[in-house]
Every structure is written in structure tokens, then in C-alpha cells.
Chains A and B, each alone.
Chain A
Amino acid sequence: MSFVKFAFVFLLLSLITLNAQTLDGKTIMQKALNKSTWKYMQGDVELILINSQGQKRIRKIKMFSRKRNENESDMLMRFVAPPDVKNIAFLTIEHSEGDDERYLYLPALRRVKRITSSGKGGNFMSSDFTYYDIGKPKLNDWTYKRLEDEKIDGFDCYKLECLPANEQIAKDTGYRKILRWIRKDVYVTVRSQYFDKGLKEWKILEVPKIENIGGVWFQTDMIMKDVQTGHSSEMIFNNIMVNKKLPDNFFSKRFLTRLR
């Protein structure tokens, strides 16, 4: 499962012209997942965390990513701001078998610290996004049911009800149900609604902006709101560059310390 496709899902419009009415839920999801993609990408991320009182924490991050293969990718994030965390670097090496490797370089200690994986359901950098939310889901982890189409911001969307294929998935992700709205024209998810163990509404993802960069569709503004706690997180992407090659040792533990 590609963790690296983090904020962005991509797409080239399918060449196959299928009658939309005949598409079932799984096919729609498949098409959304198998859009054209990139090998390397980099860009600037602004992560804004807003608590229920409206107080904000803003992190500015430079991010780099590489796909090692279909299901595994690497990602390196370097903090730019605020000043007291500047130069912290975060490396994730994804493994399709077993836990991902996660390392944090702390300039104040000049040491790389391994972060124990809290699983895919863990929160990504204290945000409302979990690692699972920002990664690429595996098609067969969920069962899909197509619901009545709806319009989001004027765009026709497929609406899918996704239920965990087994108990383990429900447990790992914390989701008992997800509703997804996928734009028909570009096959990009533009809204998701997440339900907790008790099938109570938990989080809602809104995607105010998607952009096509170098032939790949990116969700360049995503807002995840926890409706139970009132906390929300926004990720805004800028200056995305696709397929600009990075050195091979770029995504290594050693390289982390040199990013100053």
C-alpha cells in the first residue's frame, strides 16, 4: 500500500469509455486507485492544526517522496518553520510486509530517533489525519457499495459506502464505515466521511482544491475535521514538482542528519 501518495491522488482520464451506470462500487474505487502516477515528487506542505477553541499550530514542511515500487515508497519531510523545530527531519520507509520504519532527526540532539510505529491508525504528526488516511488504501481491504450519485461543489460524484472487509481492518483503521465521494470526471476523492466503532460520525474530509500537475491529479488542499472533538487539520500543498530525480541515498537514515 502506497503510503506516499499522501495527499494526492492522481489520474489520467480513463481511455475506456464505460457507461457510468454500469460501474459498480469496486470498479469505481479501482479506477480511482489506478490512476497515472509519479516516481518522484516534492513540494511544500503547510500543516495547520486547529483545536476546538480555534487556536492554531502551523508547521511548514518541505517534502520529498519516491516510489520504490507499486506498493512501497519512501518519504522525507524537513521542517522549515516554526524556528524551534526547524531542521527536524522525518523519514518514513514503507514496507508492505511488517511495520513501516519511521525516523526523526532532532537537530537539538543531533541524533536520529526511531519512532515506534503506532500502526496505520496512528495520528500523522498529531494531526487528525492518520497514516492510513494519507496513504493509498488497498482495494481489497474494503467492500464497496455504490450509493446514489451526488453533486459536490457542482461536480458530479460517485458516492461509495466502504465497509471493512474484515475485523482486522476495522481495528487497524478505527473505521467501521467510510463514505467517499469521487468526482466522475477525474476520479479524485473530494469528500470522505468516517464513522467510528460505534458507527457514529467521527471525521469528515473536505478537499477544497485539486490540481493537475504534470499529468497527475493532486488534492492540494485537504481539511480533516474531527466532529467529535472539534479539532481539525488542514494540509495545503504548494510548489509541487513531479518526477524530479533525487539521489538514491536521499531516503536513508544517514542522509537525515545532513539536512541542515
Chain B
Amino acid sequence: MELKRNGNKMYKITKLVTGFPKFTILIILIITIFFGYNIKNIKVDPDITTSLPKNIPARKLYDKMNEIFPSKDFVLIAIETDSVFSLKFVRTVYDLTNTLETLPEVYSVMSPTNIKLIRGTEEGMEVKEILPTPPETERDIQKYKHDLFNSDLPIENIISKDQRMIGIMVFVKKNIKPEEAAKRILDYLDTLDSPYHIFASGKPVLTLYLARGMARDMRLLFPLVILLIIVILWLSFRSLRGVLIPLAVVLISVTWTIGLMALLGVPITHSTNMLPILLASIAVADGIHIVNRYYDLIRANETVKDAVLDTMKELNSPVILTSVTTAFGFLALNTSNIGSVGDLGQFTAFGVIAAMVFSLTFIPAALTLLKRPKKIKAKESGFLSKLAVKYSEFIITKRKYLLAFIALVIVLSIIGWPQIVLENNSINNFPEDHPARISYENINKHFAGTTFLSILVEGDSAGAIKDPSILRKMDSLENFLASLEHVGSTLSLSDFIKRMNKVLHADSEKYNAIPPDTVWETGTDWVEENGQWIEKPVKFKVAGKDLVAQYLQLYEMSGKPDDFSNLVDYNYQNARINAFINTESSNVLRDIDHKTRAYIQKHFPQAKIELTGTSELFLAINDLVVSGQFKSIFVSLILVIGVTSFAFRSLKIGLLNGIPLLFAMVFNFGYMGWFGIDLNIVTALTSSIAIGVGVDYAVHFIHRYIYRLSEFNEEESVRKTIFEAGIPIVINAVTVGLGFAIMMFSTFTGVKHMGLLITLAMFTSCFGAIAILPTYFLTYKPKFLKEKRSD
């Protein structure tokens, strides 16, 4: 059969590398040093939103908005105290605000001590910082407090609802990486040594904590998985070479892969962060098989050279086949539109193939160089073998119970499916006691919110935003948004126009609105009567647009050039409404998104109004996760079935390989539903990976069964197969599964869940191979397998 034929071609290579073992090892080491040297250039990009493809509408719109406005992210710093309005505390905030403004990463700061008040005066209007100089007396504080609460401007993000905290919104320059800005701000806050509780949140801070969590995971989890591999290898072989040779394959393939990523400028992201653990767990498997077989043959008194050659002759094909299927499973992740997920797929696939190459070259070369081992651990013939015998009898005689059990599991799993919650929540990804989560929850409970939705209003020409009809639309949209649950506050240019309109009309509440398109104003005219200039009251008509323009000019006379730059562009052509939302739950964000879109559709069907902002990016990611999930499961199943069909030269056998995988998938989703594991960007990766890795068990089992079927009847073949292939399959599943389980020690809930799910998937696909397949073989006695043996 084809497996053998491939093996024969590979066997030439085996002969070559065992003929020149030192040269082989030297070449591999030189390339490894090259890749290892490159690792120092690896970039880290913890920002989930950067992995969104550039060509999807949500991303395009977000980029467009960021071109118009100078800042996209902000850090909200909250300071808790018993007395928000004590002189000492206000001065602390005043100083802190001033210092924050000077940080190079900071675009602007909005704090309770520096907001600009627009106030009506007897003769006109005043735009002034609330505290032009630090407060000196208790009276200053009383006035300050009064001013703050009578500004008509949204202060929900700078004074907490219970007035026990103040908030400082620090807007970050858009050309600066959010995590770097957050680091600078947090580092500065750490130096303060203040008596108050200080919290900080917002997207830059979350991104920073994500980066730190990723770094911690790397530092902790990779050594753990290596340690685990060493322990497993030692338990299996009790020899130095048995540990070091497969371990070298693991380390070299991880080095090549990360080195290649560094070389190509592909960053470590929330997805590729898991690559070393996944790859290490997978890469060790082939080595175990090879070394195991080598010891078998040494025990059978073959010479070292013969043992190595015979081992490889036998194992070249299965190693290639299982590696290729695994690589294809990972490549299926490329169907995802999320860049970093595609990266994880490609580079793990590369790593798996690299591990395969080293298993087929480095291991035989290294084993050839070593002397015949003196002590060899005796072949285990105990527990597992007895278990295998008992188990095969069970399947042969009482498989109806097994069948019932499998059916029950499938039914229960399917019942669990509808309970799966599709939810991406970057906060819930942190453990409950993590500072990121504590700060986030505290701040979002007491302030307007740190997630922001922007509604981009586009005019067709410069100055369009000054049109009262557009401003009124913005105003009504703002009111609508503010009425939604979880929307803590909103801000747009229309708030300022309303305030100015009111202030310039003797603070009359009637004028706390956007002016109509045409306004009847009363004013005074100077007219010459009898050679004298006198003042006369007049009533006259004026265009609302001119009124707005002149309010803005009036504001500009005393404002700073960039005062409104985060709300409207310089030509007054495009503006945005910012809504602050106090949750990151994708389901809440989706609800807000749908309601807002419906509102716009109903009330302003013609206007160019679009939704963007971080909340929209999260939603876009969410959508891609769902569509990507099913696409990549489908593609990986097709690929894996395709490859196995080709290898076995039979579509039916290829499909047979898919059965244990389907079972594992059915169970996986059922488990997620029953145990409340959210389907999100991380857990969505599980299935494709599990398909690629898990198919190995079916391949081994079927391969062995067909081989035995040429000599024995079905029952005896099942017995032999379970004994000969079943035990290694279980050992492999446990090894790889435990490796994946290391991810359960991650900082992040998503990665923990993924570790759990993928470990379960290893066990279930293993179970599928050693339980469902033999049950099927015995029940249906499929002819195509018997025909196959005559090949």
C-alpha cells in the first residue's frame, strides 16, 4: 500500500542521514543557531484588534475614523478618597493632571480640575479652565464644586456616581502603541506613593495587562511543558538518550518556528502565544514512537545500525502521515479572517513539519552515533497490556453497552449545543483577582464606562457639521444612546453648541438646544438719527448655520486650537459622537449596536452615519470567530479526510478516519454548552487543532487493523490491534493531552478553557479511535477494509 511506498522513498533518506550522521546533525545545528539568533527580534503584539483584516468594513471605518481624529484610546484613572472635595485632594488631582499632560505619549487629559467651562457672563461668554490656578482656600473649593456640577457638560467619566472617586481621562496619541502609553502612565502612577486607592483601566491598560499575562505565560508555561516532557520521556525510557534526543527535536522545532516568525516579522499575539506549548506537545510524539521502537529492536539483539534503519523503515510512513494530517489541521486555521489565528495555523504547521523532518533525520543520525545502550528498561508487560486484553474482550462480547454509552454521550452533547454562549469579553478573560479586572470592574461600576462606541457623522462638504439639522440629528442620537442600558455617557460637538446657545441667551433653559435652521433674534442696531448714533432694538432673521459658526468662532477666540479635535475634524466636515459603555460583553455591545443602527435607519435613513469604535471591532472579531469556527472545522475535516483517503487510497477509509473526530467535536461543543465555556476567539481554535492532532489515533488504529485483517478474522484483528496500536495510542493521547493541559495554568480564562477543551478532545478522539472504530468493525464487518488487505 501507499504508506509503504512512501516509506521506501524516505528510507533512502534514512540511509543517507545514518551514513553521514555528524554532517546531518551539524547542518541542523547551524540552521538552529541561525533561527535561534533571530528570536531576539521577535515582536509582541497583544492588541487583539490589530489582527483584524484591513479590508473588512468595520476595520476600514475604524481606520478612517482614526485618520480624522488625533486620539483613539484613553486610559481612565480613578482615584478613590473619602473626601473628593477636600483642598488637599483637589490639589493632588490638579498636580497629577498637569504632570500627566506632559507625558510624551499623552495627547490630552480631561480631569475634574482642567475641564473647560463655558459660562455666560453679563456681556458675553467665557471659556475658561475650571481651575486656572490651584485652589488656595475652602472658598475656592466651594466655587469649584459649584462650577463642576453646573457646567452642563458630561462629567460622568470624571466624577463617580457616588462622588467617592474622581476620574482622569488620559487620551493617548494614536501613533503610540497603546500598551506603551499604558505602561508609561502606570509606571508614573506607581511612583506616586499616594495615600489614595488608584485604579486604571481602558483599552491601553487592558492591552498592557494582556501583554504582561502573555509574557508570564511564556515564562511559566513553556518551561512547564518542557519539564513535563522530560518527566514523560524519563518514565518511558529511563535513559539519558531517551530523554535528550526527543527533547532536542522539541526544542529545535520550536526554535526554528519562533525564529522564522521573528525573521518574517510575525508577532507573538494572543493566539500565537500558545504556539510553543502546542508545538512542543505535538513534536515529542514522533520521537517517543521512534525511540520506543529502537529499544524494542535493540532488545531483539539487532545491531545499533540495523535497529535504527529498521525502526525508520517501519516508522517513516506513519510519522509522515500523522505529521502531514496534523499540519493540515493547523493550516485550516488559515480560513480564519483573523490574522493572528492564521499565523498560529501556518507557523504551527511549519513547526509540525519541522519536527517531522528532525524526527526522521536528527533522531536516526543521533542514535547511529551513540553506542549500544548498556542498560535497557524492561518492556512493560504489566498493567496496560492486561487492561488492553480485558478491554478487547469487553468490546467483542459486550459492545452493545459501549454503543449505548456512546449514543448517550452524543445525545447529551447535542442537548448541550444550544447552550453555548458566543461571547468575547476581554475582561472575563482575566481571573477575578487580577488587577486588570479589579480596576476595570471598579471603574466601570462607578463611571460612565471605558469601552467606546463612536458614531461617525460624515458631511458632504467642509462646514457641514455646523448645519443645525445635522447637529440636531446628532443630539437626538445622543439622547437615544444615553437612554440605553450600559451606556454611561455621551459626548459630541452638539453638547457644546447647546451650551453656548443657552449661555448666550441669558442662561435661559429654553435655549439649551440646537438652534433651528432659521432663527429670529433680537439685538441692537446702531442707527444715525439727527446726526447722532443711537442704539435701537431690532428683530431680525438669521441662518442657524451662521449662528452656529459664530458661536464656534466666539469659542475659538479664547480656546486652544485643538479643543474640539476629538469630536469634529478641522474643516467641520466630519464629526463623531462618543458613547462610553461600561461593559465589554460582546452580547451587550451587539444589542447596543443593533438598536442604534435601527434608530438611525428609522430616523435618518438618508444621512451618512456610521458606527465604529472599539466596541464595533470587538463585534467584528466576534462575527469572524463564528464564521471562522465552522469554516475551519469543515476545512480541516475535509483536508484530513482528503490526506488519509489519499494515503490509504480509499475515500471510505478516509471518511472512517473522520468518525472519531466527529465524535470528539460533538462532545467538545456539548461540553462547552453544559459547562458554560464561552465560544470566543481562543476557544474557537480548539476544534481545528484537535482534528489535526486527533486524527493520528484513527490513522494508527485503522492502519494496524487492516494489517491484521490480512491474517486474522475481525475479532482477532480487533484484539491484536487494541494490543499493538491501542496502547501506544493511549500513551500518545495522554502525553499530548497532558502537554496541552499545561495551558490550564495560563493567566487567561480563554487559554485555560482552550487547554481543557483540547485535552478533552485528545482523550475523546483517542476514545473514538479505540472504541467507536472497533465497535463499527465488529458490528458491520466492512468489506472495503478486507479488500484493502489484498493490495
Contact = CB atoms under 8 A, between A and B. Distances in A.
Contacts of B553: 79, 85, 88, 104, 106
A258 interface: yes
Contacts of A254: 526, 533
Contact of B549 (A52, A53, A84): A84
Contacts of B540: 110
A75 B122 CA distance: 23
B570 A122 contact: no
A208 B398 CA distance: 97
A76 B428 CA distance: 61
A53 B123 CA distance: 36
B466 A123 contact: no
A55 interface: yes
B466 A110 contact: no
Interface in A196-252: 196-198, 200, 226, 229, 231, 233
A116 B128 contact: yes
A56 interface: yes
Interface stretch (B491-499, B554-562, B725-733, B774-782): B554-562
Interface in A86-133: 88, 90, 102-104, 106-116, 118, 122-123, 125-128
Contacts of A113: 123-125, 504, 554
B558 A118 contact: yes
A190 to B, nearest CB: 24
B603 to A, nearest CB: 26
Interface string B516-547: 00010101111000000100001010110111
Given A53-B570, A104-B124, A115 B562 contact: no
A115 B558 contact: yes
A257 interface: yes
A118 B126 CA distance: 9
A190 B125 CA distance: 36
Contacts of B463: 82, 84
Interface string A19-43: 0000000000000000000000000
A57 B102 CA distance: 27
B561 A231 contact: yes
B128 A118 contact: yes
Contacts of A106: 550, 553-554
Contact of B557 (A102, A128, A200, A258): A102
Contacts of A52: 70
Given A85-B549, A88-B550, A110-B538, A123 B570 contact: no
A77 B571 CA distance: 22
A49 interface: yes
A51 interface: yes
Contact of B562 (A88, A102, A231): A231
Contacts of A233: 561
A226 B466 CA distance: 27
B571 A55 contact: yes
B523 A110 contact: yes
B468 to A, nearest CB: 12
Contacts of A127: 561
A111 to B, nearest CB: 5
Contacts of A85: 549-550, 553
A99 B504 CA distance: 22
A110 B525 contact: yes
A34 B540 CA distance: 49
A108 B557 contact: no
A108 B542 contact: yes
A109 B558 contact: no
A111 B523 contact: yes
B476 interface: no
A182 to B, nearest CB: 27
Given A84-B545, A109-B521, A104 B565 contact: no
Given A84-B550, A116-B126, A258 B561 contact: no
B493 to A, nearest CB: 15
B286 interface: no
A95 B719 CA distance: 107
A107 B550 contact: yes
Interface residues of B, number: 45
B561 A49 contact: yes
B67 A108 contact: no
B121 interface: yes
Given A109-B504, A118-B128, A53 B558 contact: no
A134 to B, nearest CB: 14
Interface string B453-490: 00000000001001000000000000000000000000
Contacts of B122: 114
Nearest to A226: B561
Among the interface residues B121, B525, B561, which one has the most CB atoms of the partner chain A within 10 A? B561
A55 B569 contact: yes
A122 B550 contact: no
Given A84-B550, A85-B550, A108-B521, A53 B70 contact: yes
Contacts of A110: 521, 523-525, 538, 540
Nearest to A198: B102
A115 B556 contact: no
A85 B556 CA distance: 12
A254 B533 CA distance: 9
Among the interface residues B128, B538, B547, B549, which one has the most CB atoms of the partner chain A within 10 A? B549
Contact of A51 (B525, B549, B565): B565
A116 B543 CA distance: 26
Interface in A32-78: 49, 51-53, 55-57
Contact of B550 (A49, A55, A108, A258): A108
A105 to B, nearest CB: 10
A213 to B, nearest CB: 28
B67 A258 contact: no
A258 B124 contact: no
A123 B128 CA distance: 12
Nearest to A79: B553
A173 to B, nearest CB: 15
Given A57-B570, A84-B550, A126 B125 contact: no
A55 B570 contact: yes
A111 B524 contact: yes
Contacts of B538: 110
Nearest to A85: B553
A116 B550 contact: no
Given A82-B463, A111-B523, A254-B526, A51 B550 contact: no
A109 B522 CA distance: 7
A198 B565 CA distance: 25
Contact of B559 (A55, A111, A123, A258): A123
A108 B558 contact: no
Contacts of B565: 51
B466 A84 contact: yes
Interface in B97-112: 102
Contacts of A88: 550, 553
A126 to B, nearest CB: 4
A45 to B, nearest CB: 15
Nearest to A113: B124
Given A109-B523, A233-B561, A257-B526, A114 B547 contact: no
B95 to A, nearest CB: 13
Given A102-B557, A114-B123, A125-B556, 17 more contacts: A82-B463, A84-B545, A84-B549, A108-B549, A109-B547, A110-B521, A112-B124, A113-B124, A113-B125, A115-B557, A115-B558, A116-B558, A123-B560, A123-B561, A127-B561, A196-B102, A254-B526
24 contacts: A49-B561, A51-B561, A53-B68, A53-B569, A79-B553, A84-B545, A85-B550, A102-B557, A103-B124, A107-B542, A108-B521, A108-B546, A108-B547, A112-B123, A113-B124, A113-B125, A113-B504, A115-B554, A118-B128, A118-B558, A123-B558, A126-B563, A231-B562, A258-B526
Q: Which 5 A-B pairs have the closest CB atoms?
A: A110-B523, A113-B124, A84-B549, A55-B570, A114-B123
Interface of B: 67-68, 70, 102, 121-128, 463, 466, 504, 519, 521, 523-526, 533, 538, 540, 542-543, 545-547, 549-550, 553-554, 556-563, 565, 569-571
